[in-house]
Amino acid sequence: MPLARLIYVSTLSEKCDALALQDILTKSREHNEERNITGLLSHNSEYFLQCLEGSREELNNTYNHIINDSRHNNVTIIYYEEIHSRQFGDWSMGDVPQTHLTSLINLQFSGSDEFKPYDLTGKSAYLMLLELKQHLPSE
């Protein structure tokens, strides 16, 4: 089964508080490790931006699971490609919260220094996530 990468954006629902966020990360890491899915999740109090990498089949299964989660809505795929190798292979799900440290990265890949992932092109989102991964230690 070919390897693929998928990036989507979504909007946090009112159910998504700090505790819910912790639960999302814990469950994601458990499930993704079992399915050999790797990736990165970036977020602020409004939006999620997530990259998932893995076999096309597992990627589809995982994404279909994620879109039905009531802790977010308006889930929109902005990037999909078949790939030869992973870029986020060190993380079953890396977590990069948006902080003032990431405002320069937003400026680098979008028209403002705010985190507005629906306004990103798919390619910009991918490049932004590559930049964000520099801020993370390996798991």
CA distances to 17, 39, 85, 134 from 138, rounded to whole Å, are 26, 12, 17, 10
Distance, in Å, from the CA atom of 78 to the CA atom of 58, rounded to the nearest integer, reads: 18
15 is an interface residue for ligand FMN by CB under 6 A:
no
69 is an interface residue for ligand FMN by CB under 6 A:
yes
Q: Which stretch binds ligand FMN (CB under 6 A): 67-75, 82-90, 104-112, 129-137?
A: 67-75
The helix/strand/coil state of 79 is strand
As given in the structure block, the two tokens for residue 36 are 């050999």
Q: Which one, of 60, 49, 48, 36, lies nearest residue 7 by Cα?
A: 49
When binding is defined by CB under 6 A, the residue of 42, 50, 98, 106 that contacts ligand FMN is: 50
- Per-residue contact track with ligand FMN, 90 to 129, x per CB under 6 A? ---x------------------------------------
Interacting residues toward ligand FMN by CB under 6 A: 10, 24, 27-28, 31-32, 41, 48, 50, 52, 62, 65-66, 69, 71-72, 93
